Structure 1
């Protein structure tokens, strides 16, 4: 029975003058199975037509090499920004201006066709986010990109000249002095081959500090430098602020300096790299380092780039190490700059270091020892503010507007935990779906976090959305942080790469252009474009075999509409959008020649290509811009100067040769044979399984046979035409045969799928409720029916224990009680996780067991 809709919910959704009544709402809720909580969550995220979101969120696009922009609280995607890979809608990687940006990302002259974007971050002033620039790194190919947020376009890519992979970027110092870019996998800094046996001597990690010129909006590569570090596999970073201003922190894994060798019979990397109880947090003073970098005595020049040596950094009092929980994957400085929070993937605790205690040891030179590279090691206990047990797999942190409040992601437990880093008190936790990595609260990584909303970036989505094949979308979930208790509001699938991290900023801080101020702007430089063309200046210029076309675009024509060139000419077309109206983008697409450009109002783009194909190629505006959009087109005509052309207005269409007709006939006959083979396999399944017993299946089979029985008549006509030598007619009738076969296969396959469903044991009401509880509790985050995943296969689980129903009933209700059980202990060690208490009710657990019985009953159905 549906509960009466609360007054609060009604007030949120309806006004006194609304045409809808509470009865209408109750009906919608009942029909869709919605609770009051669901309706309230919808109200909190709904942004009506014409209203705008409160926050921007910029997300890495993972293996897409791009950046995704969406709004909060609506979670509506606003834009994809092409960064390290082409993006056709914006012409990124197609027009000359963006090609130049992508070309600057070549590594040792090699074109890189993909990227793995990880950590976006804004420009900062006094540690506050400023919406002028966005920086993002490419982990796979060590690069940093600069995105100008005045037009959301990538304006620079720089390649790290010494580090071979960089995960710990891009993190920003409080006034955007530097972009921090830390190494991931140690390798020789030079581009030389070095045997793995020389790992400790020749392989190195490092942190590159990219100097940023705020006025120019560009990284100054000449003023940038790298700090040499031991081969400890550096990971993430953060910059100090307030009392820790001038310092930066980078964690690491593999203090063991293990080098693997699974192919040689040695334990794999994962075993050797997690042997020690602790790894190292690197602490370095970038203000001292920038001074050291100016003196050649402190640096080595490698691949044309300055590298401050470990020895010089230690001697200058700029580099220290601090033990941290092993295999960490996050380092976050609190907004006040007084504490550093570390999460260890293989620990249940977070560790909080007190920077004042760290600084006292540095000032007094009271060290616990040195590593093998001579770097001073600080004392763990003397640096400690405290530790707090949060759960399995603490990774990353983000902060709230309320002092001391921090949110931490738990990868293994699939939760976000709310706690206080000052008094080390656990406050709340909420389940997410599933295996959360990074997380964010609004501006939660700045000195003035807003809190309010949280975003969980979940690696798995499994059952959350409509299925789209084996490769699932990522799931960004919106969390309400405003109250004492966190509340999950919204699931958002991201179907583009693996979004790794996000940053958020209040909408008022982003002030993008609506049109370009000056007609003919080069958007990548902000300067006037060399090919800027105003109305009346359209023309075609030839210099030898180089042709330049100066074109304008305005609703609804491209000028010129006819371009004639010779085969072999190098053609450059400059397109200037003469519109001054907002949102009147035009574009230029040249059919069949891989040429495209997007041209926003006031912008000039250019494309260059070699006209190496003879023919006539239509070009058109690819952006639907007006009622006469289809008419906004023209022709590129490419002539071969070595050929003589007849004088005619239109070419005659020649008939196919007998050989060509025979080839086409053979092809359609072969296609029909292959389609018929599929049909016969379906017929075999249906007959073996007794389809006649199931009326709905039988009716589908009847439909299929109705289509199939028409085939002989059409086939006879095809054969008759073939014997008469009329190949054209034979092909047409064989195509008709194929049409009937397709219709037959469609109905037959639907009958097969329906029959398979009918043959499954009917699910009892308790089993159905059990499936709902199983999914609602997130059990399928670890347990996948029919295969081993993050946890054991749920199929057959009832048979693995003596009196399995009783055992599983008790275990699901209170998993911790059985952690020491030999079987459960073995499972924990095998999968490196413990089953959390999902706080199931006894009746829910009983229903889950009924669902597991149903799974076992149907496990063998093919």
Structure 2
């Protein structure tokens, strides 16, 4: 019976400890809630969005950056911003637009020979397979300067920018067709296709709208302009678009405003555009068969060529029964195709209804050629009532719709009411509403415009934040609000300020669908994916001159840039190739030269290029802009630009002025001694790694490879040092020995990282308490004096619990109130030896217990430290 009693006792004890821990946590939580004025629902909402350190999000969101010309990436449910992607605008941290290779991408966006360095990004779109997001490519439009950019989701970098040769603005882009065959881009404001002047009085005759179907190669992620075409449309100010799927596959839908074709004239006493452009009761939804028109465009007789681009005229599209119009509520702002492709939802900003169109009814009228008339350009008009499934009264200012995995369930933004409404587009019933803050534009559901919507959350992209955040001046951030839609009623969880441009639309994808790289193949041109022409490996560094063209092949690795001294003549054209030789994940190096407006970011394996004219005389330091290692500040060099037409007075060379030969020898012996001691540390690490079979763990083996790369350079430096000693040049010998020391430091830096990684992999698993204790040990500053496994500013704590009678209690008392124990003989001896006193870090009893558990774990694995 004793073993059974013992097991029951242990179980009861464990239950008691767990209950005590829960009660303590509850007391702590209650205190936090009281101190911060939080309700229980506040805490629940916080818990729904909180990611513990190291835990990643379920979804990744790509939001347009508005006037920043960039894309913003953040996670859901945490709403943590992960990255800004440079697209149409230079982005300094990534060096986008500052080095030659990224500048070539940015310059693809030049329009009529003019450099354009800003953009107004609106609608990001994810590439699709069978209408579902595949996580390979992201496209986004620039409304201000009609362009489409392609971002590679293997590295989240912009790879292509394509200007529209006939549009003067776009808003209805970018939208992928269901298998990423094409990207839809609709113009916004009617304008002439050519680049000539046309008087506004000729608006109806010479101004045009349109939809461009950009042919897309989803294998390489590039738009193919020569295989693309534009469908000519009336100057009705085309707006947003969507591609049909399932039943409506092969069709595209684009709504419009200003079917009045009003052109304003407020400056000459005419009513403003806002009055004249909203006079009609309805505008037009454009319905076009892009699949048929793609075949039509292959025949040169069916197209006009303007600015080297194919245009399908309206009469050709109509003749081929591929372009139609349907009346829709006036001033609409969005058309959204259901996941099965059977329905289209259109909302008008000036209407309280959402109009649900039935594609089957639309197709029946087209097949039977049942038209209620034609517009002034001869485009057949279908009957609105016959096309509708029905209308639902939603509220004021309905705009955009996202779909749910629940059949018929959708979410629509209400701009004027500042609400999100949940409703059913099949039975046309409103189910729920939630207030947002304030004046919502787009919505972002979790894969909510795909054939496979995920539900769970929806994000309100609000235009105003007003009083929601700390006042930072008259220009407020915008507000993205995360809403939980998993229950019967919607629940607004959290606000997220977005202080970059005016985000318009966002798309989301399951993080599990994204598979980005963590490093490049060595010497990659990341903008093309090919091997870079300037790829340089260790030992290949060199400077070549051809007339006044100087080419430098350089490398960067912790912690030096090779070469460290570059001398050129004023007026030289300089090409600088740089290769990041790192293989370790996240070991990015940056590079800049002062006064030359140059910067690049080099991820592991990347090669990049600078091209510039050395037009400033002087000495210009260059350095690594990413804090990459303990010797980061030493990772620098000098560009020296001299004027070949000047005669420079040579300054007397600096020497070790007051040092006698004996002193130089002593300095040399001292340096060699330090190197010998450092090498002993390296060898001890090597022995540990070998003894514990580091090769069984790839992450460790990669680090060891990096360390050996550095260590393998030492023999060559030692040979040079020995030759200098033999020649009696102790100054040079000391310099070579110092270089050996730097290589050893870099070797030790990576080697110790490898050892620490290996320890974590092979040590016994930490309990939750020990893990908390390790975190507390670090955050409490304990490791500022105590380094596990060796004596540092304080004693090594490996085995500390065995040094004292009732060691756990002794260490606990010392942590909680060290001052009381300063007179203890043992403690006094430590104070005298280290010349330091243990400070009171004001640890709680719970934190102290966790630290004790961590020290027990250290003791269990003492052989590894």
- TM class, shorter-length: 0.7 to 0.9
Which of these residues, 552, 555, 579, is aligned with residue 552 of structure 1? Answer: 555
Q: 1: distance between equivalents of 2:652 and 2:334?
A: 70
Q: Which residue of 2 aligns with 1:629?
A: 632
Q: Which residue of 2 aligns with 1:363?
A: 367
Q: Does 1:616 align with 2:619?
A: yes
Is 1:238 matched up with 2:223?
A: no
Q: Could you say what secondary structure the match of 1:413 adopts?
A: coil
Runs of at least 5 residues in structure 2 that lack an aligned partner in the other structure = 1-17, 655-865
What are the residue-to-residue correspondences of 1:2-21 with 2, within 5 Å? 17=21, 20-21=24-25
**Within 2, Cα distance between the matches of 1:608 and 1:597?**
12
Rg bigger for which structure? 2
**Structure 1 residue 572 displacement after superposition:** 1.1
Corresponding residue for 1:114? 118
Does 2:397 correspond to 1:393?
Answer: yes
Counterpart in the other structure of 1:812: none
SS at match of 2:317: helix
Moved over 3 A (4+): 14-20
Map of 2:351 onto structure 1: 347
Pair 1:428 & 2:432 matched: yes
Structure 1 gaps, min length 5: 1-13, 652-862
1:89 aligns with 2:104: no
d(CA) in 1 for partners of 2:71 and 2:565? 37
- CA drift of 1:440 comes to 1.2
Of 617, 638, 641 in structure 2, the residue corresponding to residue 638 of structure 1 is 641
Equivalent of residue 471 in structure 1, options 449, 471, 475:
475
- Match in the other structure for 2:133: 129
What is the match of residue 545 of structure 2? Answer: 542
1:99 matched to 2:103? yes
What does residue 492 of structure 2 align with? 488
C-alpha deviations, 1:694-741, integer Å up to 9, x for none? Answer: xxxxxxxxxxxxxxxxxxxxxxxxxxxxxxxxxxxxxxxxxxxxxxxx
Shift, 1:513, TM fit: 0.3
Does 1:141 pair with 2:132?
A: no
Q: TM-score, normalised by structure 2?
A: 0.73
CA distance in 2, matches of 1:402, 1:370: 39
Task: Show the counterpart of 2:581.
Answer: 578
Aligned to 1:277: 281
Query: What do the CA deviations read for 1:732-763 (whole angstroms, capped 9, x no partner)?
Result: xxxxxxxxxxxxxxxxxxxxxxxxxxxxxxxx
CA positional deviation for 1:587: 1.2
Instruction: Note the alpha carbon deviations across 1:21-70, whole angstroms, 9 max, x for none.
Output: 31221111111111111000000000000110000000000000000000
2:52 paired residue number: 48
Q: Does 1:373 align with 2:342?
A: no
- Within 5 Å, give how 1:429-448 maps onto structure 2: 429-448=433-452
Would the alpha carbon gap of residues 264 and 578 (structure 1) be closer, same or farther in structure 2, given more than 3 Å must change?
A: same
1:293 and 2:297 aligned: yes
Deviation string 1:373-431 (CA, Å, 9 cap, x unpaired) is 00000001101100011100000000111111100000000000000011111000000
2:298 pairs with 1:312:
no
Matches within 5 A, 1:393-792: 393-516=397-520, 518-649=521-652
Q: CA deviation at 1:151?
A: 0.5
Structure 1 partner of 2:666: none
Matched residue, 2:265: 261
Pair 1:213 & 2:202 matched = no
Q: 1:560 to 1:370 in 2, by over 3 A?
A: same
Cross-structure match for 2:184 = 180
SS in 2 for 1:357: helix
CA distance in 1, matches of 2:141, 2:19: 48
In structure 2, distance between residues paired with 1:151 and 1:572: 25
The match for 1:10 is none
Equivalent residues, number: 637
Distance 1:380 1:453 in 2: 33
**Alpha-carbon deviation of 1:583?**
0.3
- SS of 2:228 mapped into structure 1: strand
What does the per-residue CA deviation read over 1:319-341, in whole Å, with 9 as the maximum and x for residues that have no partner?
00000000000100011100000
Cα distance in structure 2, aligned partners of 1:621 and 1:579: 14
- Partners of 2:253 and 2:582 in 1: CA distance: 49
Give the TM-score taking structure 1 as reference length. Answer: 0.73
Does 2:56 align with 1:35?
A: no
